[in-house]
A and B are shown apart, each in its own frame.
Chain A
């Protein structure tokens, strides 16, 4: 089970995303295009950073606690999921707070 350790952290973030999305009726799926464009920027910049940092061993991942599937020959697949799920959670938090601050205005966002 050790190889699922990192995946469990991602599962936690993903569960929060699902709860916030449905709890606040944010229907993020209708904004998939917007999210895709946003995340394309984040994925490009932060995976490049990650790749460079892992190459010079600034940080590294426990092989026992990751699935063992690598992207660009050195980044655990979990890292790619991380840079999708975290920006998603950031956007959902932002949209939920907008909704909370404007309870009567549900048409926008």
Chain B
């Protein structure tokens, strides 16, 4: 399994957790996509910062080779899965900690 495989799996797992286990269903909410697309340019900026200075380096045999803002394309999948899972967990725990304050 190279980075691409793991990153794709991470996206699938994050989506399944969000929709069926945590049931926050962030994927279906406009505010999630707004948040994602606001963060994306900042991810590209920090990706470029980390990779163009060789702070983080990737084995060529572990990535498919397409790069976006200096970082492997796979990093966008990694980032998406983490943003989705973070917000899905946040809503999941928010419902349980403060059941009266849930925003729908």
Contact residues of A with B, CB < 8 Å?
A: 5-6, 9, 12-13, 16, 33-35, 37-39, 41-42, 45-46, 49, 53, 56-62, 65-66, 86-87, 89-91, 93-94, 97-98, 101, 108-109
Q: Please, how many angstroms separate the alpha-carbon atoms of A39 and B90 in the complex?
A: 9
Q: Please, how many angstroms separate the alpha-carbon atoms of A9 and B47 in the complex?
A: 10
Assign chain B's interface to a size class.
Answer: 35 or more
Which one of B42, B49, B90 has the highest number of Cβ atoms from chain A below 10 Å of its Cβ? B90
Q: Are B38 and A108 in contact (CB under 8 A)?
A: no
Contacts of B58 in A (CB 8 A): 58-59
Contact residues of B with A, CB < 8 Å?
A: 2-3, 6, 10, 31-32, 34-35, 38-39, 42, 46, 49-50, 53-59, 62-63, 82-83, 85-87, 89-90, 93-94, 97, 101, 103
| Chain A proximity of B27: nearest CB distance (Å) | 14
Count how many pairs of residues, one from A and one from B, have CB atoms less than 8 Å apart in the complex. 102
Q: Are A101 and B54 in contact (CB under 8 A)?
A: no
Contacts of A16 in B (CB 8 A): 42
Contacts of B90 in A (CB 8 A): 34-35, 38, 91, 94
Q: Please, how many angstroms separate the alpha-carbon atoms of A41 and B86 in the complex?
A: 8
Q: Are B55 and A5 in contact (CB under 8 A)?
A: yes
Nearest 4 pairs of A and B residues by beta carbon: A58-B62, A38-B89, A87-B86, A37-B93
Contacts of B93 in A (CB 8 A): 34, 37-38
Give the contacting residue for B31; candidates A37, A91, A97; CB below 8 A: A97
